[in-house]
Amino acid sequence: MLARVPLRGVGPDARDAAGGPRAARTALRRAGLHASAARGAAPPAAWAARLARDGGHVVCHHFAEPDAVAGTAERVRRAGATPHVIEAELRDPEAAATLVDRAVGAGGGLDVLVNAAGVMREHAPAEQPRDDWDTTIAVNLTATYLTCYQAVPHLRDRGGAIVNLASQLALKGAAGLAAYTASKGGIIAMTRTLAREVGPRVRVYALAPGPTETGMIAPYADEDWRRERTASLINARVAEPEEVAEVAAFAVAEEGGLLQGQTLHCNGGGVLQ
C-alpha cells in the first residue's frame, strides 16, 4: 500500500514556528508502500484507512485478489485519499522491484514501507508438506526481504521507515505452525539486522501482534479456539485490526524514533519483553 499524506516537521533539522528545533515532531507520512493490501495479519483495510485518514495517495498492492483489494481501495477513498491498485507476485525479485518503482512513481517518493503479506497453514507436528513449508517461507519471509531491499534506496532519500509484520508466535511457538513461526522469527531477526544496516536514516521495526480479527484466523476461530488463544493474554480477547494499525502509525511517526530495530509487542500481553 502506498500512501501520500502531509508531512510535518520531519527530519533532524525540523524547526518550530519560532525557528528553533522542534521538541516533538509529528510525522504524517507522505508516501508509503504496503504489501499486501488484500490480506495480512493486520487487515490491510485498517492500515490503509489509518494512513488515508491523513490524506494524499494510497497504492494498494495485491496478488490475484482483485475483489479483496477493491474493498480496501474503496475504504481509502472514503477516508479522503486517492487509491491506486498494483498487482505483483512479491516472491519474484523483478516483480518486487517493479512494484516499488511503480509505487514511487505514483506517490512521488517513498517514506514508509509496511510488509504485511502472509500465509498460515496448520499441520500436525512433523507432517508439514514440503510445498507448504516452501510457500510459507517464500510469501512471509522472502517477499518481505525482497521488498525491503528494493525500497531502502528510496526510503534513505527521505528519511523513511519500514514496518515488518511478525507475530507473537515467533516468540512463543505454536504446535502445528512450524513454517509460520519460522518465517515470522526470520522477520524479527532480519528487522534487527536491517536496522543496523540502514539506520538511523531509515528506521526499521517489526510488529508482533497476537490473535487479531482477520480472514487469516477465520478458518480456525471458533469459540474453543478463541478461548484457548486468549487465555494467556492480559487483555483476554482477540484484538481489532485498527488497534494494531495505530501501533504502526506511532512507529512511523517521528515520535517513534527511539524504537530503532525493535519488535513492538502489540499482542495484549501475550508476550512480555
- In this predicted model, what pLDDT tens digit does every residue of 228-272 receive, in sequence order? 888 888 888 988 888 988 888 888 888 888 999 999 999 888 888
pLDDT recorded at residue 70 = 85
Q: What is the mean pLDDT of the chain?
A: 80
* Residue tagged 514496518 (cell numbers): 163
Closest CA to 161 of 40, 264, 72: 264
pLDDT recorded at residue 5 = 31
pLDDT exceeds cutoff 50 at 226: yes
Residues identified as active-site: 180
CATH 1.20.1260.10 fits 2-8+24-264, yes or no: no
User: 180-199: per-residue pLDDT in tens?
Assistant: 999 999 999 999 999 999 99
Average of pLDDT values for 112-141?
A: 89
Tell me the pairing of strands 203-207 and 57-62.
unpaired
3-state SS class at 224: helix
Find the angle CA(216)-CA(50)-CA(13) to the nearest 5 degrees. 125
Q: How many CA atoms lie within 13 A of 245 on its CB side?
A: 20
**Residue pair 173/219 in contact by the 8 Å Cβ criterion:** no
pLDDT recorded at residue 44 = 60
Q: Which of 1-10, 23-32, 224-233 has the lowest mean pLDDT?
A: 1-10
| Cell numbers representing residue 137 in the block | 517461507
| Residue ranges of domains in the chain | 2-8+24-264
CA distance linking residue 67 with residue 64, whole number of Å: 9
Amino acid at 85: V
CA max distance for the chain: 65
Question: What percent of the chain is predicted at pLDDT more than 90?
Answer: 36
**Residue pair 163/205 in contact by the 8 Å Cβ criterion:** yes
pLDDT recorded at residue 38 = 57
pLDDT exceeds cutoff 80 at 36: no
pLDDT recorded at residue 193 = 98
pLDDT recorded at residue 197 = 97
User: 43-95: per-residue pLDDT in tens?
Assistant: 567 767 777 776 667 778 888 888 878 888 888 888 877 787 889 898 999 99
